[in-house]
């Protein structure tokens, strides 16, 4: 046995006496992992204890002599925190908490924070199950929070931990998800909103829309939508970016042809009340057992607008698409009528990210004072239970901050490791009440070190977005609560030419010779700028109001006495 593996064996001997000392954590969550290089399917199972802030994770791989279970903030193996388990040439078990110092294979951490619960193998599979605290205060360990974790699994047959591409599996996970609800009504009816063999244009970006009738019942009776799932057409799955379903007012003329969502047909933009949606990586979504989206009465929408964003960057011709969303609804009503509020930055070039930025933060402000103003009557407080975060390719983190009287009081959703390819509706740990008059601030942190020009807000995947969808009750007919910053203030701070219009200010920003100094000035200007608040009613009305900047602080790290440094 070489010195490296001998040291590992000594370390393992230290770990062995405490195996099994932890209380049992059930593993109710599971996902499969697949690789384009190999037909094998891996199974990852996990469970956690929120009160104790502990997690157990199990990986099942095809029969192997060793397996590494790695956790990465960005999907790179050399930035991973990992647990390594296996057997040496003498069939003695090896296990350690490790990291990579430059080159594979990994080396043990000085602080061993993973505990081995199971390491076993048979003729067909090898199993590694481990336990750890969410926060270990070891700089080599990834903190487990309300963030996306890129899981990397590597396994092999040899005794030198040789890295083979076909045995490397990657997949994003959200470990702190809640259980799917098993409450199944006696009557549940499926219904589909989808395209029918739509010929996808040979363009980088297409937003295709059409109107589809809601399900009809005679007599008209109230029902609740309680679940929805994507209909992914296998022929176009690599082109479909997102699918959104919007409720329409009942005063429009509806037709079935497909058109440009943001073209000359203004009927499409009059249907802006989000009901639900799907984006890359999304799965089936069950509403909480006390919530449902109301349909079926005379007051409810008779039609929806389906919007599908196609990103055909490879200009593939002749692709027909029948993607969409399947809903499940029931006459067995739930306690609360649920709605979805879109908030964040209005998708418009006033949203900009300079090139060469390591982390540039952009902000969208929702002033809920506008909601009763636009409706003309008092509005009950909102109760938020779930959320969906959405950005494009530069976004690395999203926070939805909740303010009251100008003071930050909590979170309505966050992900410091946002993954564009893993956009999933997530539950908050509990219900959060938003009082009318509270402020909601959406922050997106972007990295543009690989871009040469300014990235502006816009519909293309290569443009940027920064929005959050909040699922709440009781529902009101409000579509969105956005803002755009005072771009003239940014121009002034950067000492640019005087601009008479917002488009002049956008052109000025596009012409800046960006460096670290100008990026820093722009960041300060964005943080301190006032916002023009925009609120959209289901029927398309706006209220505009200038709102002052809110005090912004960076996320507070978990309090550790000190971090272990190797």
- Token pair listed for 46: 């996990």
Task: Report d(CA 103, CA 93) in Å as an integer.
Answer: 23
Give the count of beta carbons closer than 10 Å to the beta carbon of residue 404. Answer: 13
Contact partners, residue 253, CB within 8 Å, separation at least 6: 267
What angle (nearest 5°) sits at the alpha carbon of residue 218, between those of residues 217 and 222?
A: 55
- Token pair listed for 412: 């309505």
The alpha carbon torsion through 88, 30, 235, 464 (nearest 10 deg) reads: -100
- Picking from 383, 211, 418, 221, the residue whose alpha carbon sits closest to that of residue 300 is 221
- Picking from 247, 255, 254, the residue whose alpha carbon sits closest to that of residue 296 is 247
Which residue is catalytic, options 114, 207, 328, 329?
207
Contact partners, residue 196, CB within 8 Å, separation at least 6: 322
Task: Report d(CA 128, CA 56) in Å as an integer.
Answer: 11
Task: Report d(CA 149, CA 82) in Å as an integer.
Answer: 12
- Picking from 511, 427, 349, the residue whose alpha carbon sits closest to that of residue 175 is 427
Segments of 416-500 assigned E as strands: 426-434, 439-446, 455-456, 466-473, 478-485
Task: Report d(CA 461, CA 393) in Å as an integer.
Answer: 7
Question: Is-contact 279 390, C-beta < 8 A?
Answer: yes
C-alpha to C-alpha distances, 247 to 210, 265, 275, 284, 478, nearest whole angstrom: 12, 17, 6, 20, 11
Which residue is catalytic, options 5, 242, 390, 531?
390
- Number of H helices and E strands in the chain, helices first, is 5, 37
Which strand ranges, in their side-by-side order, compose the sheet holding 205-213?
Answer: 259-260, 205-213, 303-311, 240-247, 273-279
Question: Is-contact 540 270, C-beta < 8 A?
Answer: yes
Can you give 269-284 as a three-state secondary structure string? HHCCEEEEEEECCCCC
390 annotated active-site = yes
C-alpha to C-alpha distances, 270 to 253, 349, 361, 374, 539, nearest whole angstrom: 11, 21, 31, 16, 6
Question: Is-contact 42 61, C-beta < 8 A?
Answer: yes
Task: Report d(CA 491, CA 504) in Å as an integer.
Answer: 10
- 5 by DSSP, 3-state: which? helix
Catalytically annotated residues: 207, 390
């Amino acid at each position: 046995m070489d010195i490296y593996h001998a040291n590992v064996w000594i370390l393992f001997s230290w770990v062995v006496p405490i195996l099994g000392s932890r209380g049992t954590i059930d593993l109710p969550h599971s996902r499969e992992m697949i690789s384009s290089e190999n037909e094998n399917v891996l199974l990852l199972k996990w469970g956690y204890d929120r009160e104790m802030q502990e997690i157990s994770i199990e990986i099942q791989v095809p029969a192997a002599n060793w397996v590494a279970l790695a956790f990465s903030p960005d999907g790179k193996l050399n930035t991973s925190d990992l647990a390594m388990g296996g057997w040496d040439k003498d069939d003695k078990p090896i296990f350690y908490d490790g990291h990579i110092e430059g080159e594979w294979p990994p080396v043990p951490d000085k602080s061993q924070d993973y505990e081995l619960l199971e390491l076993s193998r048979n003729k067909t599979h090898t199993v590694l199950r481990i336990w750890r605290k969410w926060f270990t205060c070891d700089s080599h360990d990834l903190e487990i929070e309300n963030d996306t974790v890129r899981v990397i699994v590597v396994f092999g047959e040899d005794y030198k931990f040789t890295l083979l591409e076909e045995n490397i599996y990657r997949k994003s996970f959200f470990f702190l998800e809640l259980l799917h609800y098993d409450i199944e009504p006696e009557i549940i009816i499926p219904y589909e909103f989808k395209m029918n063999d739509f010929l996808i244009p040979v363009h980088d970006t297409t937003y295709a829309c059409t109107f589809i009738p809601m399900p009809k019942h005679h007599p008209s009776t109230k029902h609740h939508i309680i679940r929805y799932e994507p209909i992914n057409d296998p022929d176009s799955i690599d082109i479909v970016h997102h699918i959104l379903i919007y409720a329409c007012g009942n005063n429009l003329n509806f037709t079935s042809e497909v058109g440009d969502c943001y073209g000359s047909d203004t009927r499409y933009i009059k249907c802006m009340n989000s009901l639900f949606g799907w984006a890359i990586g999304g799965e089936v979504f069950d509403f909480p057992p006390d919530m449902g989206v109301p349909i079926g009465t005379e007051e409810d929408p008779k039609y929806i607008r389906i919007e599908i964003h196609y990103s055909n960057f490879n200009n593939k011709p002749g692709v027909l698409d029948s993607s969409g969303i399947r809903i499940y609804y029931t006459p067995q009503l739930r306690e609360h009528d649920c709605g979805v509020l879109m908030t964040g930055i209005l998708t418009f070039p006033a949203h900009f990210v300079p090139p060469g930025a390591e982390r540039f933060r952009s902000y969208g402000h929702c002033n809920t004072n506008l909601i009763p103003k636009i409706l003309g009557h008092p509005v009950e407080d909102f109760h938020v239970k779930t959320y969906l975060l959405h950005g494009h390719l530069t976004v690395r983190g999203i926070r939805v901050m909740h303010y009251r009287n100008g003071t930050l009081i909590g979170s309505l959703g966050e992900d410091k490791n946002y993954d564009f390819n893993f956009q999933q509706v997530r539950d908050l740990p509990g219900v959060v009440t938003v009082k009318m008059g509270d402020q909601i601030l959406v922050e997106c942190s972007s990295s543009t070190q690989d871009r040469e020009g300014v990235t502006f807000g816009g519909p293309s995947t290569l443009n940027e977005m920064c929005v959050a969808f909040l699922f709440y009750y009781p529902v009101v007919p409000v579509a969105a609560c956005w803002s755009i910053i005072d771009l003239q203030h940014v121009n002034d701070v950067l000492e640019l030419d005087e601009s008479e219009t917002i488009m002049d200010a956008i052109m000025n920003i596009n012409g800046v010779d960006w460096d670290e100094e100008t990026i820093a000035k722009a960041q300060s200007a964005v943080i301190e700028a006032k916002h023009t608040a925009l609120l959209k009613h289901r029927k398309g009305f706006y209220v505009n109001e200038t709102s002052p900047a809110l005090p912004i602080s960076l996320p507070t790290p978990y309090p550790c006495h000190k971090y272990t440094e190797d």
